[in-house]
Amino acid sequence: MAIDHLDGALLELLAEEPRIGVLEASRRLGVARGTVQARLDRLQSNGVIRGFGPDVDPAALGYPVTAFATLEIKQGQGNDVRAHLTTVPEVLELHTTTGHGDMLCRLVARSNADLQRVIDRVVGFDGIVRASTAIVMENPVPLRIVPLVKQASAD
């Protein structure tokens, strides 16, 4: 579970040029192919690398509006609300957080008008008491992992 330097370098390399193969990676890192193979296998069975799924941009799919909604949930309704939100495709992510039985979810929509429809669908459910929405205007730091990997492998 500890990440050493080579693991870190491999992760950074894969993050920057994901389509390179094991052989090419071994050349770039200056180690043997089998080593890269073994490290990759270990990182995957460790769960450090969950997968290599395509990184899909919702905006390019026609959903350029992103918002975060904080939901206040009725006591004991958590499971129902979870199940309900799972059925809404525009809910990309859902977290339960500390606080007043709250949840935080990431939404996308086709337009600001469409966002209203999405929110109506999200909150049109009995267990949800109140919702407050923050629309994303800019995304100065897109989801990133390399700095954290560098930090983690610097031990």
By CB under 7 A, name the binding residues for DNA. Answer: 6, 21-24, 30-35, 37-39
Longest dimension (CA), the chain: 59
Binding segment (CB under 8 A) for its own copies, from list 7-15, 22-30, 114-122, 123-131: 7-15
Q: Residue 15 or residue 135: which is nearer to DNA going by CB?
A: 15
> For strand 102-109 and strand 91-97, is the pairing parallel, antiparallel, or unpaired?
antiparallel
147 makes contact, choosing from DNA, its own copies, none, with CB < 5 to 8 Å by partner type, with: its own copies
Of the residues 6, 104, 119, 129, which one makes contact with its own copies according to CB under 8 A: 104
- Based on the number of CB atoms within 10 Å of its own CB, is 126 exposed (0-12), middle (13-18) or buried (19 or more)? exposed
DSSP bridge partners of 66: 108
Distance CA 13, CA 150 (A): 12
> Applying CB under 8 A, which residues contact its own copies?
1-3, 11, 14-15, 18-19, 46-63, 66-68, 70, 82, 85-86, 89-99, 102, 104-106, 108, 134-145, 147-152
